[in-house]
């Protein structure tokens, strides 16, 4: 059996779609699991849909996700070029071979003629397909038109009555009747190939052994099978992945939410979480496990465990996974991810040791990295206001007495840590014959401006003695005033 070679072949038409990320991931996992080669190929032959910078963005996004390719535009390889617009003569040469064998033909129809053909077929209620009028031209007429430079395409000649079988790893045996297939354009009038010719030629010349792609390409596969047969080439194995669906079971689209990987990256989702999430959109490990990193996915992955039915893109599940992956990270890892947010918030001068304490304390209370700042702003600045609802609930007339005593006791502490802070609070509560909560809640309000957060004693230990005293005195004046 030849060495496994797979490819991810996106079109540079914008940002990488989450469905594209899943296709790239499954190809990557299959290659790594089987000690094979993962190829990146850029399919840019549709010149009307190109977006400047899209190739660079695709490569940067794959890099962010950790899906490193072995061959491709920026790393080279023995089967390049890996950008289709740089391989045009290869496709034209293969189109000429098909023409010479009578397996393809020139067609000179104008857009207006094709539109009229479509309307006529619509009226007759027959499936729209090319009516092969170009095949009625004599060799002399064809040559005359070519010599005159009449715009033309090259069409594939589909057998009229045959059954084309696709043996798909995911979907099993799928049969297509040839007379329902259109004579696909292989070479467009601009000299560029269509996807169908270019991808088959490239997959063969690049030694691709397994074509793993989305279900939307299944209906095109019989044409690809025919091309392999026309060229007398060995067929790769096919695996068509199930569709990604919105919660209402419609095809995933940006009308119902973000579909670009870049959107999730900008919102602070971890690549590990996004990969874990999309891996389970169609594949399952055969048990109840849900959390995987890239290494464990490689160990577990197989195409045989990819299902046929569409997979629902559940944003709540992604958010949950992101939280779980955050919890699994070390404080040092999170510090590295938090640094850019600290710089952006002009907090880059904070001591690393202090920020690590904040991370350790808040790790169980946030879902994304930026929330260390947005949810824990009181670690980085004194509160400017106090939550009204928390004030109504927790600030009582006697609270000022408790805070005054707390300030005095804290100021007199020689050892300032969680235990000594807790001892102060409980001693004052016992002195007044009340539960510790009668002090804890107003203390938290005074220190953070909020009614909830991490454990008070740990919070005060992280903030430090001077910061706590300053905030308590300031809050005492402000809260009593109001």
Q: Print burial letters for 341-354: b (CB count within 10 Å at least 16), e (below 16).
A: bbeeeebeeeeeee
Residue 254 confidence class, pLDDT cut points 50, 70, 90 = low
- Same fold across 5-84+244-312 and 87-241: yes
Which pLDDT value is given to residue 174?
Answer: 96
Q: Model's pTM, two decimal places?
A: 0.89
CATH of domain 87-241: 3.40.50.620
Average pLDDT over residues 119-148: 95
CA dihedral 43, 44, 50, 54 (to 10 degrees): 50
How is the chain split into domains, by residue range?
5-84+244-312, 87-241, 331-370, 388-481
Which CATH code of 1.10.10.350, 2.40.30.10, 1.10.10.10, 1.10.3720.10 fits the domain covering 388-481?
1.10.10.350
Would you say residue 480 has pLDDT above 80? no
Minimum mean pLDDT among 136-140, 178-182, 471-475: which range? Answer: 178-182
Q: Tokens representing 452? A: 């909830």
The pLDDT of residue 161 is above 90: no
Residues 6+ apart with CB under 8 A from 167: 173, 174, 237, 238
Q: Is 254 a catalytic residue?
A: yes
Q: How confident is the model at residue 235 (pLDDT cuts 50, 70, 90)?
A: very high
**Token digits of residue 164:** 């084309």
For residues 311-320, average pLDDT? 93
pLDDT on residue 481: 61
Instruction: Give the mean model confidence (pLDDT) for residues 229-248.
Output: 95
Cβ-based neighbour number of residue 51 at 10 Å: 12
pLDDT exceeds cutoff 70 at 393 = yes
pLDDT value of residue 55: 93
What distance in Å separates the CA atoms of residue 225 and residue 104, rounded to the nearest whole number?
15
Q: Do the beta carbons of residue 80 and residue 42 sit within 8 Å? A: no
What average pLDDT does range 99-124 have in this prediction?
96
- Among 10-19, 79-88, 148-157, the range scoring the smallest mean pLDDT is 10-19
What pLDDT sits at residue 32?
98
5-8 and 185-187: which strand pairing?
Answer: unpaired
305 has pLDDT over 80: yes
Once rounded to an integer, what is the mean pLDDT over residues 331-351?
93
Note the pLDDT of residue 398: 93
Alpha helices in 184-292 (DSSP H): 195-205, 221-231, 261-266, 271-279
Mean model confidence pLDDT for the chain = 94
Catalytic entry in 143, 251, 254, 308? 254
Model confidence pLDDT, tens digit, residues 75-100:
999 999 999 999 999 999 999 999 99
Which CATH code for domain 5-84+244-312?
3.40.50.620
């Amino acid at each position: 059996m030849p060495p496994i070679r797979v490819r991810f072949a996106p079109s540079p038409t914008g940002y990488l779609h989450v469905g594209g990320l899943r296709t790239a991931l499954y190809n990557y996992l299959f290659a790594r699991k089987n000690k094979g080669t993962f190829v990146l190929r850029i399919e840019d032959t549709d010149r009307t849909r190109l977006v400047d910078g899209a190739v660079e963005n695709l490569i940067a996004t794959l890099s962010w996700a950790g899906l490193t390719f072995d061959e491709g535009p920026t790393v080279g390889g023995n089967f390049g070029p890996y950008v289709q617009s740089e391989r045009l003569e290869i496709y034209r040469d293969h189109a000429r071979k098909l023409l010479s064998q009578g397996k393809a033909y020139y067609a000179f129809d104008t857009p207006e003629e094709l539109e009229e053909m479509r309307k006529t077929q619509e009226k007759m209620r027959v499936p729209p397909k090319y009516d092969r009028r170009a095949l009625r031209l004599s060799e002399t007429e064809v040559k005359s038109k070519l010599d005159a430079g009449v715009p033309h395409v090259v069409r594939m000649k589909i057998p009229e009555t045959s059954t084309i079988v696709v043996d798909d790893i995911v979907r099993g045996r799928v049969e297509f009747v040839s007379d329902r297939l259109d004579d696909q354009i292989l070479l467009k009038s601009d000299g560029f190939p269509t996807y169908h010719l270019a991808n088959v030629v490239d997959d063969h010349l690049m030694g691709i052994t397994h074509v793993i792609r989305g279900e939307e390409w299944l209906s095109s596969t019989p044409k690809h099978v025919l091309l392999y047969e026309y060229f007398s080439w060995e067929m790769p194995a096919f695996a068509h992945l199930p569709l990604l669906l919105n919660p209402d079971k419609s095809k995933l689209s940006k009308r119902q939410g973000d579909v670009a990987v870049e959107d999730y990256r900008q919102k602070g989702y971890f690549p590990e979480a996004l990969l874990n999430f999309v891996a389970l959109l169609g594949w399952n490990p055969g048990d109840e496990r849900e959390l995987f990193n890239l290494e464990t996915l490689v160990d577990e992955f197989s195409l045989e465990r990819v299902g046929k039915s569409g997979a629902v893109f559940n944003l709540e599940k992604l958010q949950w996974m992101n939280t779980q992956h955050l919890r699994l990270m070390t404080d040092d890892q999170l510090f590295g991810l938090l640094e850019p947010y600290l710089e952006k918030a002009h907090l880059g001068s904070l001591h690393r040791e202090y920020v690590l304490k904040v991370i350790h304390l808040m790790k169980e209370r946030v879902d994304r990295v930026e929330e260390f700042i947005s949810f824990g702003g009181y670690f980085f600045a004194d509160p400017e206001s106090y939550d009204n609802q928390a004030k109504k609930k927790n600030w009582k007339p006697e609270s000022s007495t408790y805070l005054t005593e707390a300030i005095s006791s804290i100021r007199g502490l020689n050892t300032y840590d969680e235990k000594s802070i807790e001892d102060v609070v409980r001693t004052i509560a016992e002195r007044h014959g009340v539960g510790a909560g009668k002090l804890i809640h107003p203390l938290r309000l005074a220190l953070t401006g909020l009614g909830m957060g991490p454990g008070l004693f740990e919070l005060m230990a992280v903030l430090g003695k001077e910061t706590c005293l300053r905030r308590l005195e300031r809050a005492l004046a402000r809260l009593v005033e109001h």
